[in-house]
Amino acid sequence: MRTWKNLSLTLILASAFAGAAWAQTQTADQTQPQTGASSETTVTTVNQAIDRIIAREHEENATIRRYNPIIETYIQDMRPDKEMGYVPVRDHYFLGQANLAKGVVDNSMLAKKHGKLDAFNPLSHLGFFESSYVPEGFLQMIYLDTTGFDRQHYQFDYVGKQFLGEVRCYAFDVTPLPKSGRGRFKGRIWAEDQGFTIVRFNGVYTPLAGINSFNLHFDSWRMNMQPGLWLPAFIFSQESDLKDFLGNNVRFKSQTRLWGYDLKNVGREEEFSELTIESPTAIQEQQTDTDRSPIEAEREWQHEAEINVLDRLQRVGLLSPPSPMDKVLETVVNNIEVTNNLDIQPEVHCRILLTGTLESFSIGHTIVLSRGLIDVLPDEASLATMLAQELAQIIVTKPSTDRWGFNDTTNVSTVEALSRFSFKDNPADVQAANAKAVELLKNSPYKDKLGAAALFLKQLSDEQKDLPALINPHLGNGVELSENLMTASSPQLQPDKIDQIAALPIGARLKLDPWTDRVDLLKAKPVALLSPREKMPFEVTPFMPFLTRYEKPEQGVSADAAKADMAKSGQPQQQQQPQ
């Protein structure tokens, strides 16, 4: 209880680290690295490299403030476990839109709780420990130092050249000089060798902000999203042996993701640039004298409503643009339809919600699964089980989209979206759809592989008490724990069995482009597990992205290739590790 209270206090104080004092000037090491191309003069000494890195970081701080990305932070409090090392004991989830032009400000997209004292946060009623403060502490970690990153405040020690992915970098250890003020960064930085932008920094802010606080270690990454433009994308933070001023252990792991950098242009500039004017003859050929019947008009109204919702969710950064991964999901849905002799018109499509919570919903004839849910599914049969639940909703309950046909109902901002949209089904509809889903699965190509899906549901049920924030849906339905699948004849959950993979770690399937919001399958190599501890179902792990320089995006992997990768990762020895 007190551990999380003090963690919250530290994160509040983290946003105050910007105010720093000036210190004495100190010269840097004279070791000479070899450099690559530069946009200005050739760099031949460490001193020159340091000067370029300092100047570029000041430019980077100014550039970052021009954007208002979506920020998602997921935290797991950990406890020691004799068999598994450390395991989650409680979790916390935050989603908001950053306002970086005004400093480290996070506008929460989640509903705020009022009038109820949080048992894990006994001082929340005082206002100092409101959940809205917590993301700001993690968001601060996109900055290395906003007020004093220079030779007057830091000593720079050249470490050497290292590759982060395909990007060659110069690594430096940076140490705040004595009396340089609060909020200074101590750790290692990696600067790419062309523009000398810092693309990764790993360490901690120093010194402590007060006697009853502590600082958190973090690993912050930037990605090359446009030519010459590097922006924050991932932050991993962890503490395993930290104690607060009362002697309580502080153990946690967290992932912070940023995306939605180009929301103002989503679906607009490309559409306008691709607009063509057809010849009058062509237009006349498309026109007919047939009026719409009442039934056709009703269907068209429902379809327009469906498009209104999907378009708005994409524009506010919650839904990925169409991608080859959608086709993977649609292939699985088609497999279920064909073997059940279903002919659903209009045909069912699939999209991906960008958030990390485990949820799904259907709107009209479109099934939406969250990135977080797809990430942790161990194989195609488990994926089919999630899709079958929403396909059954379309068949059994025929969800109406009536109210979304009026465009003002979907004209919402990013911050308003989660409070204005809801696609949760009532318990009776969920129960009816669940029974239908099991029927569909037992007639599908996955009928002999449902043991894996049952294992996933058992693992989820086992973690439900400790991971309520991950499992809590915000737009749609939670994962239904079907008793018809978790029967006595289904496999038993064996956490200590290395070749039984019931669920994957968080981030094990998909990667998200922070600029375009597109998702794609990870291209990670198969990894043989060494012990049951490495299974880590539903757990947070460090980020280790393969950095590349910006190239014009391709269409991505084909649906067939993505489906093949999905099938491969179902093998226990080939578990995908997150990036």
Per the prediction, the chain carries an average pLDDT of: 81
pLDDT digits (tens, 9 = 90+) for 504-560: 999 999 999 999 999 999 888 888 888 888 889 999 999 999 999 998 766 555 555
Looking at 412-460, which runs of residues are DSSP E strands? none
DSSP for 328-372, please give it.
Answer: HHHHHHHHHHHHTT---SSPPEEEEE-SSS--EEEETTEEEEEHH
Range of the domain at 326: 299-493
210 vs 337, higher pLDDT? 337
**Pick from 282-296, 367-381, 443-457: least confident:** 282-296
296 vs 155, higher pLDDT? 155
Per-residue pLDDT band at 171 (split at 50, 70, 90): very high
pLDDT score for 488: 54
How many domains would you assign to the chain? 2
Spatial distance between the Cα atoms of 255 and 220, rounded to a whole number of angstroms: 10
561 vs 203, higher pLDDT? 203
End residue of a domain, out of 233, 262, 291: 262
For residue 45, what are its two tokens? Answer: 């000494």
Reported pTM: 0.84
556, part of any domain: no
Closest C-alpha among 299, 62, 20 to residue 177: 20
Phi, psi of 3 (to 5 degrees): -60, -50
What's the mean pLDDT in 399-417?
84
User: Is pLDDT of 443 > 90?
Assistant: yes
370, part of any domain: yes
User: Is pLDDT of 32 > 50?
Assistant: no
546, part of any domain: no
- The label of the residue with tokens 């968001």 reads 139
pLDDT score for 110: 87
pLDDT digits (tens, 9 = 90+) for 13-30: 333 333 332 232 333 333
With 0-12 / 13-18 / 19 or more C-beta atoms within 10 angstroms meaning exposed / middle / buried, residue 273 is: exposed
Indicate whether 335 and 242 sit together in one domain: no
255, part of any domain: yes
pLDDT score for 240: 87
Angle between helices 324-339 and 380-396 (to 10 degrees): 70
**Pick from 105-119, 283-297, 469-483: least confident:** 105-119
471, part of any domain: yes
Indicate whether 179 and 327 sit together in one domain: no
212 vs 362, higher pLDDT? 362
User: Is pLDDT of 41 > 90?
Assistant: no
End residue of a domain, out of 461, 478, 493: 493
pLDDT digits (tens, 9 = 90+) for 63-82: 999 999 999 999 999 988 88
End residue of a domain, out of 493, 513, 548: 493
111, part of any domain: yes
348, part of any domain: yes
Contact 422, 475 (CB under 8 A): yes
Indicate whether 103 and 219 sit together in one domain: yes
Q: Which residues pair with 361 in a beta bridge?
A: 368
Collapsing DSSP to helix, strand or coil, 336 comes out as: helix
pLDDT score for 134: 57
Q: What is the CA radius of gyration of the chain?
A: 25
72, part of any domain: yes
Closest C-alpha among 293, 441, 423, 315 to residue 370: 423
For residue 521, what are its two tokens? Answer: 């399958």
